[in-house]
Amino acid sequence: MFGRQREQLHGKVILHAVIYSQMIMNTLEAKTSIQPPELERLLADGRPAQLLDVRTPGEFAAAHVPGAKLIPLDDLDAAAFQRERGLDETPVYVLCQTGGRARKAIEKLERAGVKGCVLVEGGTQGWIDAGLRVNRGKSSVLPLMRQVQITVGFIAALGAVLALTVSGLFAVLPLFIGCGLMFAGITGTCGMALLLAKMPWNRGES
């Protein structure tokens, strides 16, 4: 009888130890992404956080999350960022307009040894859609992805018109655009967006 009780007690101890270990692992597990409302609550509670916005200056000027620091993706020197950060382990919450560029920025930062990078799901647009406060300014520059959509649509339409009225060889333009869109969808890298981001109006240059 006493032997059976000891076995049951031993089993309970092991079970509680496993549960406790799992709780510790879940607590220590690095968070890789966060929803805007959750991040807003952390900031409101005064939790240490560094907000990094990797959009273009024009997009940042139009609307940005309060407290965010602007470093456009093209200008992000991950090694310099790590040197400046030093031993600071404050989480770095990275955001762009919708999330694509932020993922690229996190890849660069992690390759340079930066720890604690967290993707803000949905980016600045997700923050706005959640009804959270943003700092708004005056900017005549369209969001980068809208510029991409306009440019891609124009080139595809132009190629189709020229193929119908001038030469069928111009059909290569819509074909090229279609292949580019498929590549962007598969890899998450939009060459048109990277190109447009380098334009003077997107870099805040006069």
Active-site positions read 96
DSSP 73-141: GGG--HHHHHHHHTT----EEEE-SSSHHHHHHHHHHHHTT---EEEETTHHHHHHHTT---EE----P
DSSP-derived 3-state class of residue 33: strand
Contact between 93 and 62 under an 8 Å Cβ cutoff? The reply is no
Instruction: Please give the Cα distance from 151 to 184 (Å, whole number).
Output: 15
Q: For residues 70 and 170, what is the distance between their CA atoms, to the nearest angstrom?
A: 41
